[in-house]
Amino acid sequence: MKPIRKAVFPVAGLGTRFLPATKAMPKEMLPVVDRPLIQHVVDEAREAGIEHFIFVTGRNKAVIEDHFDRQFELEHALTERQRCDDLELLARDLPGPGTASFTRQQLPLGLGHAVWCARELVGREPFALLLPDVLVQHNRGCLAQMIDAARDLGDNANIIAVEQMPADRLDMYGVVGIGERRGGLFSVTQMVEKPARDRAPSNLIITGRYILQPDIFDSLAAEKRGAGGEIQLTDAMIELARSEPFYALEFEGRSFDCGSKVGFLAANIAYALDRSDIAPAVRAELKRLLGEG
């Protein structure tokens, strides 16, 4: 497959499950420990070798653009206080000049529509798509695992990250049907958005990381409304799968659905327990809360 140089981050949703926190602040800026969700996924993309970061934003999301820019007053204050570590941290997190682009979705018509809004910035090359409300915790990032797996595939392949989910929760997700195995990948035979419990083709759900061919934009251009009246990415992928191969990678690592309150809180605890500077104190605090300390 051709190199994957660009990644799209759709960040224009309303985040209604986190109201009132997301009334004036984007969901994607909620912190997991001390880094916003969007920073975690940008880090994952950078680690996978992505060179161009494309954000599809909306109203109330300007702060995301500010987050990925320099902050002179803060840098000045930190320099005066000789806070070298903090200055280094800020510099390290920043995409290089000219490597981040922002476009507006204008109306939150669904994930498929958000992806379509990136078409001019992506152009005609395969690209990565990362949903910032899904975090995957592993020493090798999920997108890097996908790009490793993509190396031996043909130029028209598409890959989606999948993971197992208990049967009673499958009706909340996109579910894939799988065929033969090819290395760490399965060929995808079917995709269904939010299947009825007895209709799910497997227990593997689509998890928020994709490598897609630019032909997906042609399917999205029809702006067909699907489940919930939204323009669904899964519908466009189903159409594209008629002419191009789709593969599913069951990635290594633990995922957190940070679009839900419980998933978000679990991510905060898991990421805190993975941080040597705070893990002992967090563990002690958790024990106290659970009445074991």
- Distance CA(254)–CA(190), nearest Å, equals 24
> By CB under 6 A, is residue 11 in contact with ligand UTP?
yes
Mask of contacts with ligand UTP, 54-93, x by CB under 6 A? --x-------------------------------------
> By CB under 6 A, is residue 10 in contact with ligand UTP?
yes
Least distance CB 3 / ligand UTP (angstroms): 25
Return the ∠ at Cα 67 (arms to 61 and 72), rounded to 5°. 130
Displacement of CA 28 from its chain's centroid (Å): 10
- Contact by Cβ (8 Å): 247, 240: no
Mask of contacts with ligand UTP, 93-112, x by CB under 6 A? ------------x--xxxx-
Which among 278, 253, 276, 264 is positioned nearest to 139, based on CA atoms?
A: 253
Least distance CB 176 / ligand UTP (angstroms): 18
Six-digit token string for 181: 């195995």
- Interacting residues with ligand UTP between 39 and 58 (CB under 6 A): 56
Q: Which is nearer to ligand UTP, 1 or 22 (CB)?
A: 22
- Interacting residues with ligand UTP between 112 and 171 (CB under 6 A): 113-114, 131-133
Among 5, 14, 137, 253, binds ligand UTP (CB under 6 A): 14
Residue nearest to ligand UTP (CB): 13
Number of residues that bind ligand UTP (CB under 6 A): 22
Q: Which is nearer to ligand UTP, 6 or 113 (CB)?
A: 113
> By CB under 6 A, is residue 267 in contact with ligand UTP?
no
User: Which residues are at the interface with ligand UTP (CB under 6 A)?
Assistant: 10-17, 27-28, 56, 105, 108-111, 113-114, 131-133, 259
